[in-house]
Amino acid sequence: MSRPVRHGLFPALAGRDQSATHHTARQGDPTIGGFIADQSDPARCNWKTMANHHTHPNTAEHFATPVHGTLGGSFARRNDFNEEFYLRWGRIDFDLSFGVRANVKVILRVYRADQICETYLVDTDPYDIHWDRHKRRTRDFYVHPFSRNFGPIHCVKFSFVVHLDEHSIPSQLEYIFMDRAPLEDAGTQSRRITSEWATTNTYKTHELNAAELQSDVDWYNRHFDSLRLIPKFTKGQHSHPYHPKRFIHDHIDKVIHCKQQHPDRLCTIKVSVDCIDDTDFIRHLVHASERGVWVQCIVDWRKMTLTNSQNYARLKRSGIELLGVFCTPNHHLIEVDPDMHTKFIIFNDEDCINGSFNITFDRWWANWESGMTFHSRGVCRLLDNIFQSQRGGVIQKYGIDPLSHFNLLYTFGRHTIAGGKQYCPHHAIFSGIHRARHSIKLSLFLIGDLLGEHGESVVDALVHAKNRGVYVHILLNGHLARQGRVGIERSMKEELNRPLLPAVQRLRAAGIRVGLVYGQVDHAVPYSPLHSKYCIIDEETVIEGSFNWYNTSVFSHDITLVVTNREVAQAYLHEFEQMQRLFRTF
C-alpha cells in the first residue's frame, strides 16, 4: 500500500509488506467479543431519539462524553495497484470526568447501501490533563465517501469503549458522527455530538483472564514440547508440504468438521492479518461462516478501504465481522505510516499460526516467507489476548522470563520482566544480538536504524557483535535495500546502480557480509522474493514474526516470537542456506 515517507529516512520505501482448560466463561454467549447476532439495520440514521438517556456506572458514558466531531476535506491517495481513492479525514473529541488513567477507544461504523457496514477501531490521545478530568481526541481516521463496490456513505456513526481498572466498558449508545448531508458537502464539517438520533450500541469487547495467561506462560517455560511447534516456509510454492496455505485450509476444514460433530459448541476462527486479499481464503472463511463457525477478521484499515477487491467485497457482504484498525500515532522516529501488521490466525482456540506472511497467496505466491504453527491452547490464549485488545478490549498483563525457551511478544503487549519493566519485541532483538557468542544470521525484508531503549542503533549493535568476533551474515530484500522509488520499471543494471540505504551502507562498510537477494529472472519491475523477518543466533535461538527491523515497527501492531531450540533453529538455517543457492545475491 502506498504511503508517504517521513523525514527522508527511507527514500526507497513507498510501501510495507505486504495444556489448560477450554476458553473461559460465557463461551456460548454470542455477544462476547462480537456483535449481537440478531440486530436491526443500524444503517438508517433517522431513528427516533432515545429519550430519558441517563448514564450508569456500567456504561462508558459515566466516564466519557463525546462532544465534537470534525470531518475534513477530500484528498487523493493511491494503493498498490495505482488506483486512486478520494478520502476525508475525521476526528472526535471527548470530555472525561476521570484522570488520564482512563483510556478511550472508538468503534467507527460506516454505513452504505444494501446494509453494508464497515467497522473500524480508532485510538485516542489525552490532552488538557487534570488529576480528576481530561480531554481526549481520536487520532486521525479516514473515510472513503464513495466506494466502487458499495456506492456512497449514508451515515457514519460511532460507539466507544472506556478502559479502566483492567476492564473495558462499552458505551450504551451508538452516536451519529456525520450523516449524509455533511458527507456530501466537500468543505470541512463540524458537528456537536449529542444523543439525538442515537441508537443502542451492540458492539461488545472482551478480556481474558490474566491469571490463566500467567499460568500458560509458566507452563511452557518448563514444558517446551507442549507447544507442538512446527516451522513453516512458503519456498515460493503453493504445493510445498511446509507451505502455510495447506495448514490454514486444513484447519479451517477441521473447525468446520468440529462444528458439524458438535453443533452446540462455539467453534471459532480468529484472523488478525494485515491483508487477507486471497480468493481461496475468503471463500473458505465464508463457507465456514455459513456452516455455523463464528469467524472474525481484523486487518489494517487501508487494506479494506483503499481497495476495489472483490475478495473484500465478498467478505463485507457475508456478514462476517471485519474490523479495520487505524494505527496513526505521531512520533519523530516513525519513518513511514505504521500498520495493523500482525499476521496470525487462531483455530478453535487450540491451533494457531503466526509468521511473516499476509494471506495474499494469489498475488504474492512466489514470496519466500516463514512462520510457526502451534497446537497449544496456551499459545492460542496469548494470541487471543492480543486479538481481543485489537478489537477494543484491555490487553492483560503477565510476567515473562526473557531467557525462557519461548516468548511471544507484542508491540503493545504488557509482558513484564523482573522489576515490572515492559519487555517488547525490539528489546528481545537487542538482547539477542548482545548475547550472541558465535554467529548471527539474518533474513530481513528490510532494516533501518531501529533504536533500543538507550538510543543505540541495531546497526551499531550488529557492528559491535562483529567486532567482538561474532560472525554476522545478513540477507536483505535487494529491491528495498536501496534508495529511490520502489515498484517502478527499470533495468537490472539501473537497479544495481541505485545507492544503498544508509543503514545497509554502514553494515557493509563495517565488513559485515550483506547479501541483496533478487529472483533468478529479470522482471520489468525488479523483484526480490524475500519477505521473511527472522534471525538465527548461535544456531540455537530463532527470532521470528511480523516485526520489521526499523522504528516504525515499534509503533505498529507487530509480533515477535523468540524460540531457543536447536531443532527449530536447524530448519531456519537450512532455509537460510537454500535462499543463497536458489537466488541471485549481490
Over residues 239-253, the mean pLDDT reads 90
pLDDT of 57 > 80? The answer is no
pLDDT at 454: 87
Provide the pLDDT for residue 51: 34
- Whole-model pTM? 0.90
**CA–CA gap between residue 578 and residue 178 (Å, rounded):** 55
* Per-position DSSP letters for 408-450, written without gaps between them: EEETT-EEE-TTS-B--HHHHHHHHHHH-SSEEEEEES-B---
pLDDT 10s digits, 156-180: 999 999 999 999 999 999 999 999 8
Query: What CA–CA distance (Å, rounded) separates 68 from 193?
Result: 5
C-alpha cell at 336: 513511514
pLDDT of residue 11: 38
| Whole-angstrom distance, CA of residue 234 vs CA of residue 555 | 27
Measured in whole angstroms, the distance separating CA 170 from the mean position of its chain's CA atoms is 23
The tens digit of pLDDT for each residue in 86-129 reads 999 999 999 999 999 999 999 999 999 888 999 999 999 999 99
Q: Give the pLDDT confidence of 2-29 residue by residue, as tens digits.
A: 333 343 334 334 344 443 333 333 333 3
Same fold, 60-200 and 210-585: no
Q: Distance between CA atoms of 463 and 266, rounded to whole angstroms?
A: 51
pLDDT of residue 54: 47
Higher pLDDT, 333 or 236: 333
Q: Please name the CATH architecture into which domain 210-585 falls.
A: 2-Layer Sandwich (3.30)
The owner of cell 473458505 is 284
Q: How far apart are CA 268 and CA 252, in angstroms?
A: 9
Just give the CATH number of 60-200: 2.60.40
Q: Which residues pair with 111 in a beta bridge?
A: 117, 155
Structure confidence at residue 23 (pLDDT): 35
Query: End-to-end alpha-carbon separation of the chain, Å?
Result: 27
In the block, cell 473500524 appears at 120
The pLDDT score that the predictor gives to residue 442 is: 98
Q: Which residues contact 38 (CB under 8 A, 6 or more apart)?
A: none
pLDDT > 90 fraction of the chain, expressed in percent and rounded: 81
CA distance 462 to 446: 15
Condensed to tens digits (0 to 9), the pLDDT of residues 264-315 reads 999 999 999 999 999 999 999 999 999 999 999 999 999 999 999 999 999 9
Q: What is the pLDDT of residue 42?
A: 37
Q: What pLDDT does 56 receive? A: 62
Residues 6 or more apart whose CB falls under 8 angstroms from that of 3 comprise 14, 15, 16, 302, 336, 337
CA triple 263-33-18, angle to 5 deg: 100
Q: Report domain extents, the chain.
A: 60-200, 210-585
Percentage of the chain exceeding pLDDT 70:
90
**pLDDT one-digit tens code per residue, 381-400:** 999 999 999 999 999 999 99
Residue found by looking up cell 477450554 in the block: 22
pLDDT of the residue at 41: 38
Tell me the average pLDDT across 487-508: 94
Q: How confident is the model at residue 55 (pLDDT cuts 50, 70, 90)?
A: low
State the cell numbers at 207. 478480556
Which of these, 260, 255, 259, 282, lies nearest to 348 by C-alpha position? 255
Please give the grid coordinates belonging to residue 244.
502455510
Distance CA 230, CA 387 (A): 22
